[in-house]
Amino acid sequence: MDIKQYIEKLDYATYCVTLELPDGQLVTRTYERSNEVFPAYKTLVEVLGRYDGVGIHVETSCRALAREYNAEHQNPNSTLLNDLKEIIARRGLSVTISYVA
């Protein structure tokens, strides 16, 4: 299964995140007073909670999310990363994340 995540900066500290789910459904959220990585994590955690026991490949336009998840630049104390790992484990998912410009 593939999920595509697009993040667009609308204004200073305002981001719009659109996720294209495997069934073609689009999920869009807007975050204000934020950096890019916060909405990337939050929306991904939200949609991954819909699936159980499947393999999912995520293509994201958020380089920081992909780098942190793939341990290229990982902060073990990151609450957002830990939340993502928790939902993956709780739902029995196998998740890969790659950055696409």
Question: Which sequence spans correspond to the domains of the chain?
Answer: 2-99
The tokens for 28 are 């869009």
Record the tokens describing residue 99, joined without a space. 């950055």
Looking at residue 101, its amino acid is A
Q: pTM of the prediction?
A: 0.91
Judge residue 89's burial from the number of C-beta atoms within 10 Å of its C-beta, 0-12 exposed, 13-18 middle, 19 or more buried. Answer: exposed
Q: For position 73, what pLDDT does the model report?
A: 72
Tokens describing residue 98:
């790659």
H/E segment holding residue 50: none
What CATH number was assigned to the domain covering residues 2-99? 3.30.420.10
Instruction: Note the pLDDT of residue 75.
Output: 72
Task: Tell me the mean pLDDT per 10 residues along the chain, length 101.
Answer: 97 96 96 95 96 98 94 78 95 97 85
pLDDT of the residue at 88: 97
